[in-house]
Amino acid sequence: MQGSFINHYKPDDHEFVKRTIHCIETVYNQVQSKLTDFVDPSKQKIITDLCNRYPNLQCIYQGAFPNAERKRALLLPEYWSYEAEDFQIRTFFIDLSTNSSFVKHGDYLGAILGLGIKREKIGDLVVHNTGAYVVTDFVIADYIELNLSQVNRYPALIHEVSFSELPIREQEFHYIENTVASLRLDNIIKMAYQMSRNKAVEVIQRGYVKYNWNVCEKVDHVIANDDVISVKGKDKIKIIAIGEPNKKGRIPVKIGRFM
């Protein structure tokens, strides 16, 4: 199957597609279940697409939060049942108390990854009131609980919570509104991150930009409403609204910067 279908996907996804096919074929041929790491919506689509090519298989996603973005996929025969424990997920609240207003999403995530944890072992991380909720792989949960003692120089207390205690992810944005000459990706990057045009082109061409969770190196890629864009080391943004060109031909764009 690999030779037949892998070229349907972008080169950056080929290695992930190969691993997913191997995982699916193990489930299919050996009649067993397999659990993936946490994956973003783009990779979830790939997994679902590949699973649909095999009869009598089911692919179930779980990310703990009611409207999770990053999820684990449980692959198993269609006639098998499953339970929440099969996803091997644990959830925590990182409490910074009164210091939480000084800390952003990237600070929490950086503190966890700084322990040597791989990104794929972490699901969604949601900043909420005095701290942040985080979803983790069961395997590394104890390590995080024992070793995460501070975030951005502030002392942190971490305790486990149940799925039912997790809040609905109501994403907050810092809004930016301006006009652009065109809806090219480099123009949007320049506007959103207050970069020079040359710098915007550079980060795109170096592969530092993800467009809807996929690396995009095309500076002239045209964006649309609801697209999600991120630049390595910076906050993620979402295209909230695109207006009609004004008299000077410039296009109004409203961007939401994830908080």
**Residue 111 confidence (pLDDT):** 96
Superfamily of domain 89-165: RRM (RNA recognition motif) domain (3.30.70.330)
Domain with CATH 3.10.290.10 in the chain: 173-258
CA angle 227, 232, 235 (to 5 degrees): 60
Domain with CATH 3.30.70.330 in the chain: 89-165
Domain with CATH 3.30.1370.160 in the chain: 2-82
Stated pTM of the model: 0.83
Fold classified for 173-258: 3.10.290
**Residue 2 confidence (pLDDT):** 53
203-235 burial, b for 16+ CB within 10 Å, e for fewer? bbeeebbbbbbeebeebebebeeebbbbbeebb
Q: Mapping DSSP to helix (H, G, I), strand (E, B) and coil, where does residue 186 land?
A: helix
**Residue 168 confidence (pLDDT):** 82
**Residue 241 confidence (pLDDT):** 96
Query: Which residues lie below 8 Å from residue 109, measured CB to CB, with a gap of 6+?
Result: 122, 125
**Residue 4 confidence (pLDDT):** 62
- CATH number of the 2-82 domain: 3.30.1370.160
CA atoms of 87 and 137, how far apart (whole Å): 9
CA atoms of 54 and 51, how far apart (whole Å): 6
Low-confidence ranges of the chain (pLDDT < 70): 1-4, 99
**Residue 1 confidence (pLDDT):** 52
